[in-house]
Structure 1
Amino acid sequence: MTVTEQTFWVVIPAAGVGSRMQADCPKQYLELQGKTVLEQTLAHFTHHPRIHGIVVAIAEDDDVWPTLKVNTDKPLYTVNGGAERCHSVLNALNFLKDKTRDSDWVLVHDAARPCLRREDLDKLMITMAQHPQGGILAVPVRDTLKRVDVACIIEDTVDRERLCHALTPQMFHIGMLREALEKAIDEGVLVTDEASAMEHAGYSPLVVEGHGDNIKITRPEDLALADFYLASISDEAASDYDGLMADDG
């Protein structure tokens, strides 16, 4: 089955408070080039021809989301977020249970990653459409890594060969990911991304190399960096699909 014959949903966990940003509002609602970070993130999916619909997991007391004006003709739903990312994603997948097939794909993307390149998104979808288990965007580790103790004293240097920084989207079959998250939560395993849940369930996700400018806004300095990256990336939202999508046929 080619990418054009499959159904793709997007889940955006956006219930976090982003305490490390030291801001007056959750980081997904900080301003970035005239919009909120979350609006910039959603723009990568709202007009993508292969995306069927989007589910955003928000905090129960979120009073900012209703004020946003997201321009899309796709189904756009919200669900209550959970205590952790894994709970928010699982809530979204449970919401989709009656609207999807277990074999449909879901792309889980961080609310605070507004600099996703369209070429990376298309590459992930095309590659994973032929993979039985799914996988993630990632970039090779370039910096020297140090393991430290509780007092921040270096214990050793970690061999960075074959190490990657995990990015998002992370793309899996909806049914498989739902079961993997349920298993991890039931067993008290706190997974920090969807690939970790799949690994815990015995699967071996594939890595697709993306670009390092797909950063997650976590600290105050990241906002300025995201602004720079967005300004330097061409207008992907208006680009055509004569490239990777056309190659898929």
Structure 2
Amino acid sequence: MSKFIALIPAAGSGSRMGHELPKQYLSLNNQPMIYHAINTLWQNRLITRILVILAPGDLEWFKYDWSQFSGKLVALNHGGTTRAESVLNGLIAAKQKDLVQSNDWILVHDAARPCLTSIQLENLITELAGDEVGGLLAVPVADTLKRIDASHRIIQTESRENLWQAQTPQMFRYDLLTQALHNAANANITDDASAVEALGLHPRLVLSDAYNFKVTYPQDLALAELILQERNNL
């Protein structure tokens, strides 16, 4: 029977945050940012294992107490130079260690999306568990989109009809995702769905909301703090 396994690529430096510490370890509500993603995944009854893919020389991870997640959480120092490489390396290492099977569902989630809710995660799994391809959380694009030139002047306004903004988790079977990432090894892909699309397949979108945003800039961290504090006070 297929299992549901989460994978968090956490080998990046988060340079756009302007901080020496990799952004997955920046403090958010008195915990490293990655803690909040792990906690939401850990609470889901269907997810049997959480794989965190760290940079080979990452020692920061071991400065924190992760014991509350014991039984599900496994850290692997197999991160690569890109997100896609980290995911692929993690998948290969997990198979070698017998932590995952070919038909298992893999839910790849960004360490820098700390505001994922249990309801969003449950909806994703429920809607995709019987899907032939898999899919991802996403939201319709609401803002007007402008295409610019090298001088930052508008060339044209792009139609936002049928455009959605991809989020994570992105959920695909182990074999399919591994094949897709292998095939896209030399391509400049920024998410797992892009690699699956390159195989000629069509992942399904599951409606999310704007709160499941990716922390990229310092002001994003402040917003995530407010959202998590409000939830904790409910």
- The TM tier, using the shorter chain, reads over 0.9
Q: 2:60 aligns with which of 60, 64, 67?
A: 64
Task: Tell me if structure 1 keeps the 8 A contact 2:54–2:75.
Answer: no
The alignment's TM-score, normalised by the length of structure 1, stands at 0.89
Q: Does 1:161 align with 2:157?
A: no
1:80 alignment partner in structure 2: 78
**What CA distance in whole angstroms lies between the structure 1 residues aligned with 2:43 and 2:205?**
25
Computed over aligned residues only, the root mean square deviation of the Cα atoms, in angstroms, reads: 1.5
**What CA distance in whole angstroms lies between the structure 2 residues aligned with 1:131 and 1:234?**
34
> What amino acid sits opposite 1:61 in the alignment?
G
Q: Does 1:129 align with 2:125?
A: no
**What CA distance in whole angstroms lies between the structure 1 residues aligned with 2:116 and 2:73?**
21
Q: 1:20 aligns with which of 16, 19, 31?
A: 16
**What CA distance in whole angstroms lies between the structure 2 residues aligned with 1:230 and 1:173?**
31
SS at the partner of 1:218? Answer: coil
Matched residue pairs, number?
A: 230
Superposition deviation, residue 56 in structure 1: 1.0
Give 4+ residue runs of structure 1 displaced > 4 Å after superposition.
none
**What CA distance in whole angstroms lies between the structure 1 residues aligned with 2:164 and 2:9?**
22
2:150 alignment partner in structure 1: 150
**What CA distance in whole angstroms lies between the structure 2 residues aligned with 1:235 and 1:106?**
32
Q: Does 1:47 align with 2:43?
A: yes
Larger mean CA deviation between 209-218 and 226-235 belongs to 226-235
Larger mean CA deviation between 87-96 and 76-85 belongs to 76-85
2:196 alignment partner in structure 1: 198
Task: Tell me if structure 2 keeps the 8 A contact 1:32–1:227.
Answer: yes
Task: Tell me if structure 1 keeps the 8 A contact 2:5–2:47.
Answer: yes
Larger mean CA deviation between 8-17 and 73-82 belongs to 73-82
Report the identity percentage.
41
Unaligned 5+ segments in structure 2 are none
1:244 alignment partner in structure 2: none
Task: Tell me if structure 2 keeps the 8 A contact 1:79–1:91.
Answer: no
The alignment's TM-score, normalised by the length of structure 2, stands at 0.94
> What amino acid sits opposite 1:132 in the alignment?
E
CA displacement, residues 150-203 of structure 1 (integer Å, 9 cap, x when unaligned): 221111111001111100000000110000000011xx2121000000001111
Q: 1:91 aligns with which of 89, 92, 105?
A: 89
SS at the partner of 1:229? Answer: helix
